[in-house]
Amino acid sequence: MKTKLACLLIAVMLTVGGAGCSTVATSTGPMIYRLEDGEKSVGELAKHQISGSIYAGVIVLEKTPVCPIVAEKVRIAQKQRRGRVFSMMELVIFGLGIYDAAKSQAVVENSKEIKPLGKYETGEFVPCGEKKPAAHETVIITDKQQTMERQAQTDGAGRLDLKAVLGAPDYVMHLAVRLASDPEDALTVIYRPDR
């Protein structure tokens, strides 16, 4: 009698273990949704970034084309693995837990759905062309206190003689130099008239 009862109990446990409680719980569970960034790419030319150097009152300006980074927003739907406790118990008691755990993980991987929602600019910019002299560009020059503002034109090599534009004041000036075509980006320079 005890042997028959033990055999019946083992048969029931093997049936339950073979059925894969974790797999069944995972496959009948709901999909979980989350938003993520997908692939990133470089967008169209947005603006020019200004750079340069100053020597003996002459500033040499260069401009680099920059483009925005564009990311794709995607919605990922995927089942969540459930019933890990069952597969652990099956592993300890029957030895079938490894099969159940692998099968439930396969259900999770096979349920994955990715749906693109749209593209957006991330706000980050990267250079997308060669740096060139800012030739024949109209520039706006302001001092740190914004009490002075001058406009000037660079020559064919992107040079601008600050002495010709600002004269020779007897103090050091902290200047912001902007392209008139893109006044948001500024180059900060220190102008020492005596050097």
Q: Which long-range contacts (CB under 8 A, 24 or more apart) does 182-188 make?
A: 182/47, 182/48, 182/50, 183/140, 184/47, 185/47, 185/48, 185/49, 185/50, 186/50, 187/50, 187/51, 187/52, 187/61
Say what the pLDDT of residue 154 is: 85
Residue 94 is predicted with a pLDDT of 59
Per-residue pLDDT at 88: 62
In this prediction, residue 171 carries a pLDDT of 76
pLDDT of residue 86: 61
Report residues of the chain scoring pLDDT below 70.
1-2, 5-20, 22, 83-97, 193-195
- Which pLDDT belongs to residue 89? 63
Q: What is the structure's pLDDT at 118?
A: 83
pLDDT of residue 147: 78
How far apart are the C-alpha atoms of 115 and 113, rounded to whole Å?
7
- Give the per-residue pLDDT at 150: 84
